[in-house]
Amino acid sequence: GKWRSYGIVSINDLIKIPSDIGVESAATLSVNPCTAYRLLKDFVTLEKGDTIIQNGGNSGVGQAVIQLGKLWNINVVSIVR
């Protein structure tokens, strides 16, 4: 799990973070893409050419949805408040 201060892990499970990325930003690198993936895969079967509309497209999850949509040839319309 991620909710701890210390842990013992294999060196193969670590990713070096460049020094110009802050700790707070680095901590979210693996969370938002996983959330976007689950949103696009768990609730509906999407096919190439389908279109989705999302609210909050400027968020970290929203940006990941856009990138996955592009990768999978799914059109993404983002609404930003």
> pLDDT tens across 26-70, in order?
888 888 999 999 999 999 999 999 999 999 999 999 999 999 999
Structure tokens at 59: 């968020």
Place of tokens 């799990």: 1
- pTM (2 d.p.): 0.71
User: Where do the structural domains in the chain lie, given as residue ranges?
Assistant: 11-79
CATH number for the domain running over 11-79: 3.40.50.720
Structure tokens at 47: 């096919």
CA 11 to chain CA centroid, Å, is 23
For residue 7, pLDDT over 90 is answered with: no
Whether the Cβ atoms of residue 46 and residue 40 lie closer than 8 Å to each other: yes
**Confidence band for 20, pLDDT divided at 50, 70 and 90:** very high
